[in-house]
Amino acid sequence: MKGIRRTLLLTYFGLYLLNLLVLAAILFYPARYFLPEMLRRLGEGQVWLLLSAALAAVVTTLLVVRKVGSGMTERLSQIAETVERISAGEMTGHTYLGGRDEIGQVAEAVNRMAASLREQVKEISANSNRLETILSTMVEGVIVFNEEGRTVLTNPAAKKMLSKREENWVGRSDLELIRNAELHDKIMIACLGKRVQEHELKTVFPEEKLLSASIVPLKPGEPGKSGVLVVFRDITRLRRLEEIRADFAANVSHEMRTPLTAIRGYAETLLDGAYRDTETAVRFLKIIHRESERLNNLIEDVLMLSQIESGRADMELVPVNVAGLAEEVLESLLDRLSTHKLKLEVSPGLPPVTGDRGLLRQALFNLLDNSLKYTPAYGEITLGAVREEHSIRIYVADNGIGIPLAAQARIFERFYRVDRARSRSLGGTGLGLAIVKHIVEAHHGRLKLESKEGQGTTVSLYIPVYPPDR
Ligand code: ADP
């Protein structure tokens, strides 16, 4: 502001001198005649008076200019200070200068500009907060690359998926972060503003994962270069489920083929003339009947499994009395139980469990059916129930052939059998325990298997008591 003050001073002083010169020039010509005469007439004191008056005029001008100049510079300084505060990021910056002159108008414009800046900054920070919240809550991993293929933005999910320890990804290339040549080529193509592409990649650290990546140019169609958005999705579970489903379909068809082949074979032999020998015909018809039973069991088990798994089984969670349930199941197996010794160990006074009566009956039926199948005749089978904290442990124990340790982890998988031929010959579908597992999961319960080869097996179901939150 000193500059302005100096300029004003020089301007005013210059004008003042110019005035003096013009006046002197105008007066000089006539003054030539009367000035000597006048000076002769004036006393020495009067000359000094004149000179002092001239000096006083000069000093007064200087003071006036200084005063006016400093008033202006002060106001301009205030405006400059406000602008500096705003540019330093102090959003409350405001100048309180009044006045209708140009400086007042400038101050008013600065205030308006500051208010509009405040609004814009507020909006920008709200937008960026919104973007950050969206990015950090997304399950998909997001990375944005600039037109040179360098990272400008990432979200936590991307870091988790790609398991990189480096905190700062900004400025790094995709090759540094992901190390996948094919993905890199696709990102480079997208950098040229070309089409949207898809890519699948496997990660191995810290666990094996299958990721699908969508690579999207940010300004598609624009000539030259563009930024690239890459969205990663973890499709490990999805792919695994697809595989399980495909395996299941293949297994079901395979399991169906065996009884169907037998039925067709024996029916054809009968048609070829075997029906004439009554004894043979009866034997064959019995086999056909048994195989069709097996086919029926298989279809029923597959349907039940898919219903529970997809949540389509109309489950009704009600209080179920365990003693009554045990009786019901034993009744349905009465004709088969006569070959074994049965023990019932249901503790008296048990609270009811929270469950679907039909599904729980099915689970107990499957367990007892297995004990009957895999325990030699006259072996011992126990059905019991005890309270354990918030659950009732319902267990089926036998002293049968037991399950080898190596097989115990897989025993609840679909179609897994320790001895395939044995299970088949006993009419097993290989789905019994898989169904039990799904029923227990649908009840928010858990399963426990204890078994020793050659000594016996105990399977326990922990089902929550009723009411559920007790
Ligand atoms: P399956 O229809 O073959 O019985 P499950 O799913 O019910 O199918 O059982 C899977 C396999 O687990 C059986 O094939 C059998 O090898 C083994 N298993 C199940 N329960 C018992 C048990 N109580 N004792 C011995 N082995 C058993």
pLDDT at 150 over 80: yes
What is the per-residue pLDDT for 450? 97
pLDDT tens track for 69-100: 677 778 788 888 888 888 887 767 777 766 77
374 CB near ligand 1 (under 6 Å): yes
pLDDT tens track for 335-353: 888 999 999 999 999 999 9
If you average pLDDT over residues 236-244, what whole number do you get?
91
Strand-pair partners of 463: 392
Q: Using the CB atoms, write b or e for 428-447: b if 16+ within 10 Å.
A: bbbbbbbbbbbbbebbebeb
Q: Is the peptide bond before 467 cis (omega within 30 degrees of 0)?
A: yes
Of 432, 411, 425, 415, nearest in space to 259 by CA = 425
Q: How far does Cα 429 stand from its chain's mean position?
A: 40
What is the per-residue pLDDT for 30? 66
pTM: 0.63
Dist CA 88 CA 73 (whole Å): 22
370 CB near ligand 1 (under 6 Å): yes
How would you classify residue 443: left for phi > 0, otherwise alpha for psi between -120 and 50, otherwise beta?
A: alpha
The DSSP symbol for 274 reads G
Of 152 and 78, the structure prediction assigns the larger pLDDT to 152
- The region of weakest confidence among 3-17, 125-139, 257-271, 433-447 is 3-17
Q: Which atom of ligand 1 is nearest to the CA of 431?
A: 6
Of 41 and 55, the structure prediction assigns the larger pLDDT to 55
Q: Using the CB atoms, write b or e for 352-382: b if 16+ within 10 Å.
A: bbbbbbebbbbbbbbbbbbbbbbbeeebebb
142 three-class SS: strand
Q: Which atom of ligand 1 is nearest to the CA of 432?
A: 7
Q: Which atom of ligand 1 is nearest to the CA of 401?
A: 25
445 CB near ligand 1 (under 6 Å): no
411 CB near ligand 1 (under 6 Å): yes
What is the Å distance from ligand 1's center to 364 Cα? 14
What is the Å distance from ligand 1's center to 353 Cα? 26
Dist CA 110 CA 248 (whole Å): 74
Domain at 318-464, CATH class: alpha beta
Residue identified by tokens 């039973």 is 293
What is the Å distance from ligand 1's center to 450 Cα? 13
**Which fold would CATH assign to domain 240-310?**
Helix Hairpins (1.10.287)
Q: How far does Cα 33 stand from its chain's mean position?
A: 104
Dist CA 332 CA 383 (whole Å): 14
Listed in sequence order, the residues at least 6 apart from 248 whose beta carbon sits closer than 8 Å to its beta carbon are 414
What is the Å distance from ligand 1's center to 427 Cα? 11
Of 384 and 425, the structure prediction assigns the larger pLDDT to 384
The letter for the amino acid at 89 is G
Q: Using the CB atoms, write b or e for 228-237: b if 16+ within 10 Å.
A: bbbbbbbeee
In the chain, % helix, strand, coil (3-state, to 5) comes to 55, 15, 25
What is the per-residue pLDDT for 215? 94
199 CB near ligand 1 (under 6 Å): no
If you average pLDDT over residues 391-397, what whole number do you get?
97
**Which fold would CATH assign to domain 139-234?**
Beta-Lactamase (3.30.450)
Q: Which atom of ligand 1 is nearest to the CA of 396?
A: 23
Domain boundaries along the sequence of the chain: 2-118, 139-234, 240-310, 318-464
What is the per-residue pLDDT for 417? 92
What is the per-residue pLDDT for 18? 77
The residue contributing the CA closest to ligand 1 atom 7 is: 432
The residue contributing the CA closest to ligand 1 atom 19 is: 370
What is the per-residue pLDDT for 62? 74
If you average pLDDT over residues 173-201, what whole number do you get?
88
Residue identified by tokens 């249901």 is 346
What is the Å distance from ligand 1's center to 300 Cα? 17
- Most confidently modeled range among 121-135, 162-176, 195-209: 121-135
> With bands split at pLDDT 50, 70 and 90, how would you rate the model's confidence at 282?
very high
> With bands split at pLDDT 50, 70 and 90, how would you rate the model's confidence at 65?
low
Q: To test the ligand 1 pocket, which listed residue (417, 447, 461) has its Cβ within 8 A of the most ligand atoms?
A: 417
> With bands split at pLDDT 50, 70 and 90, how would you rate the model's confidence at 211?
very high
325 CB near ligand 1 (under 6 Å): no
Percent of all residues in the chain with a pLDDT value above 90, rounded to a whole number: 49
What is the Å distance from ligand 1's center to 432 Cα? 7
Query: How deeply is 297 buried, as exposed, middle or buried, from its count of CB atoms within 10 A (0-12, 13-18, 19+)?
Result: middle
pLDDT at 170 over 60: yes
pLDDT at 381 over 80: yes
In the predicted model, what is the mean pLDDT of the chain? Answer: 87
Q: Which atom of ligand 1 is nearest to the CA of 371?
A: 23
pLDDT at 1 over 60: no
456 CB near ligand 1 (under 6 Å): no
Of 314 and 27, the structure prediction assigns the larger pLDDT to 314
What is the Å distance from ligand 1's center to 314 Cα? 27
> With bands split at pLDDT 50, 70 and 90, how would you rate the model's confidence at 223?
low
The residue contributing the CA closest to ligand 1 atom 3 is: 430
Dist CA 205 CA 209 (whole Å): 8
Q: What pairing do the DSSP bridges indicate for beta strands 151-154 and 141-145?
A: antiparallel
pLDDT at 224 over 70: no
> With bands split at pLDDT 50, 70 and 90, how would you rate the model's confidence at 29?
low
Q: What pairing do the DSSP bridges indicate for beta strands 380-388 and 228-234?
A: unpaired
Dist CA 118 CA 49 (whole Å): 62
If you average pLDDT over residues 8-12, what whole number do you get?
68
What is the Å distance from ligand 1's center to 411 Cα? 7
400 CB near ligand 1 (under 6 Å): yes
If you average pLDDT over residues 369-396, what whole number do you get?
95
Dist CA 313 CA 89 (whole Å): 63
pLDDT tens track for 92-104: 777 776 677 788 8
Ordered DSSP codes for 73-87: HHHHHHHHHHHHHHH
If you average pLDDT over residues 113-139, what whole number do you get?
90
Listed in sequence order, the residues at least 6 apart from 260 whose beta carbon sits closer than 8 Å to its beta carbon are 291, 295
Dist CA 336 CA 127 (whole Å): 72
What is the per-residue pLDDT for 31? 63
